[in-house]
Amino acid sequence: MSAKSSRQFGLWKSPMTSRNLAQDRRLEAIYCDSDSRTTVWLEGRSGRGVLMALGSDGDAPRELTGDLSVRAEVGYGGGDFTVHGGHLFFVVHKSGRLYRQPLIAGTACAITPAFGSVCSPVVSPDGRWVAYVHNDGEDNDRIAVVDASGDGWPQILAAGHDFCMQPRWSPDVRRFAWIAWDHPNMPWDGTTLYLADVIEADGAPPRLGEPRQVAGGPETAVFQPEFSPDGRSLLYVCDESGWGRIAAYDLQTGVRRWLTADGVEYGAPAWQHDMRTYAVSHDSRKIIAVRSDRGFHSLCQIDLGSGENKPIDALSKYTEITHIAAAAADDRIVLTGSSGSISPRIVEHNLSSGSTRVLARASGEIVSPSALAECERISWNSAGGEEVHGLFYPPSSDRFEGIGKPPLIAMIHGGPTSQVKAGWKPQAQFFATRGYAVLYVNYRGSTGYGREYMLKLRGNWGICDVEDAISGKNHLVETGRVDPNRTVIMGGSAGGFTVLHTLSQHPKSFTAGVNLYGVANQFHLASETHKFESRYLDTMLGPLPAAAQIYRERSPVFHADRIVRPLAVFQGDIDRVVPREQSETVVEALRKSGTPHVYHVYEDEGHGWRKRETIEHFYDAVEKFLRTHVIFS
């Protein structure tokens, strides 16, 4: 191996190009057909959702949905499709309709009218009915049901709450479970798991008996109910003890058993519909669950009888695992897995034989692992001595070594109730392989560290996140890992708010900032955003009008004239969550104050980038901005 060349940090030639990243596919939800012969997954390709299928015969994957783009749009999306009995059931983008299509051959036909928005279809085990979440366009959410052939008119199955998610049929179609909650709660604040008897009448859609509460409440979050295939248990994740633990509710006796212990998280904040962190085996003997420990995922197998919990070592290289599903007739599981140096893959694993195969890859994986940065788990003390967590990617190259100390990019996640996990982070690798150090700040208020840690952001948005970003930078400076004179704060949405608020309240805390569609006007966010987040700020800042002064203090549009460090602003022109006007108000203040800045608006993009040309331009523009205002400043 030849010796590495010395070159200034931030100027390394990287194998991670913007074009490579723009061509990557998103690998999303996965389902196995009820006969276990076919696995279906969703790929995101430059704004289009494409369903792919692979049979158990090992033949090549094939596209299923042609020109139809698959994407559900209730809230932040998710719950795009399901598979049952040789048929797909999926939502077509911008149609608001549910479609049915044969897996082998045949065309798609709509089974619901073009009315409102739908998501999370789930087929009754006998194949007769499809339940789904419906929003009527007037902010009324409910669970509806339609016959699987679409010959009848949909009927309301459950209603009466502001939100609902994760509908489930019991194996004998005699019971139905779902989760619901009301304003001002978000689904991680407090939800209720309901169970009701299914009442059927000849020739008519089923209806539900009186619902009964199984778990949850205003201050307890419940997530992902699942009936065991033998019909004996209703499983779910609940944070009643302060951690998202898996519970089994005996449907005959009403007795609940905890299957996992405190101190490790098995749930996730339900930002999207139909999120899954565990699956139940076909024989009801075991649960295959994603265990989240300080940002790193691992997969474990839990015996449903004894509660014994053991790791699945064959999949230990994957440190972020999503969209897990179990086959209905054998011991196969399928999931999306990645790590700090492995881009997402669809992986199939046989629990009995131990065999593993990759069904699909998000990228060509053309970059040598030796060139990529390894993700490190770090912690530090912030204001008041409270411990804060993060993930750190040091500069990495198989060709270059740096001169001096590297510049830092402190990445602030969105949400704000979210978490950065130790999976594939193309942004981190794009910058780390150019000689930047990258810190993902899982500030107080992030999920994955217990409910108490998450609740620290209540009333403190704009305080804890800002303090923890600055203290994280200071920690790396004090330990000699980064250059104190070349530091960047970067984030999108709620993370973009933290960028703006930090640079306006602590103008010289970072050398520069990068803001992607950041929240700039809290009043506007409270009054104009979509239904899902319309009361989010009641807990993050306080209810209006009583908290009006706090909203003003933590709205960067009123303080943008204090920003003196260079700032790059990126915005989608059809963003419904943070409309374009918010970014343009900030940019106008920068123009008036003479603060160096760049501003890019991407046509036909919303709250995040989907199109290849947008992604490629974004990375190139950020690199150019950082070279000008950080590396050569």
The Cα-based distances of 454 to 214, 320, 414, 447, 552 in angstroms read 24, 20, 14, 5, 24
Rg over CA atoms, the chain: 24
Q: What is the pLDDT of residue 525?
A: 87
Q: Which long-range contacts (CB under 8 A, 24 or more apart) does 88-95 make?
A: 88/40, 88/51, 88/64, 89/121, 89/123, 89/130, 89/148, 90/51, 90/65, 90/121, 91/118, 91/119, 91/121, 92/68, 93/48, 93/49, 93/68, 93/69
Q: What is the pLDDT of residues 409-446, one digit of tens each?
A: 999 999 999 999 999 999 999 999 999 999 999 999 99
Q: What is the pLDDT of residues 554-600, one digit of tens each?
A: 999 999 999 999 999 999 999 888 889 999 999 999 999 999 999 99
Query: What is the token pair recorded at 538?
Result: 């009641």
Instruction: Calculate mean pLDDT across residues 108-113.
Output: 95
Q: Does 23 have pLDDT greater than 80?
A: no
Q: What is the pLDDT of residue 395?
A: 97
Q: What is the pLDDT of residues 434-444, one digit of tens each?
A: 999 999 999 99
Residue 495 has, within 13 A of its CA and on its CB side, a CA count of 26
Nearest to 597 by CA among 499, 505, 469: 499
Q: What is the pLDDT of residue 528?
A: 79
Q: What is the pLDDT of residue 2?
A: 65
Nearest to 412 by CA among 363, 465, 450: 465
Q: What is the pLDDT of residue 36?
A: 66
Instruction: Calculate mean pLDDT across residues 225-252.
Output: 97
Share of the chain above pLDDT 70, in %: 99
Q: What is the pLDDT of residue 28?
A: 84
Q: What residues form DSSP beta bridges with 512?
A: 488
Residue 195 pLDDT level (bands cut at 50, 70, 90): very high
Q: Does 256 have pLDDT greater than 80?
A: yes
Instruction: Calculate mean pLDDT across residues 308-326.
Output: 95
First CA to last CA distance, the chain: 35
Query: What is the token pair recorded at 521?
Result: 């006007």
Query: What is the token pair recorded at 302?
Result: 């839990």
Q: What is the pLDDT of residue 88?
A: 94
User: Taking all residues of the chain, what is their mean pLDDT, rounded to a whole number?
Assistant: 94
- Residue 401 burial by Cβ neighbours in a 10 Å radius (0-12, 13-18, 19+): middle
Q: What is the pLDDT of residue 255?
A: 96
Reported in sequence order, the residue ranges of 294-428 that DSSP labels E, i.e. its strands, are 296-303, 309-311, 320-326, 332-339, 342-350, 356-361, 376-381, 387-393, 400-403, 408-412
- Higher per-residue pLDDT: 497 or 369: 497
Bridge pairing between strands 387-393 and 437-442? antiparallel
Reply yes or no: is the peptide bond before residue 184 cis, omega within 30 of 0: yes
Q: What is the pLDDT of residue 60?
A: 84
Q: What is the pLDDT of residue 55?
A: 83
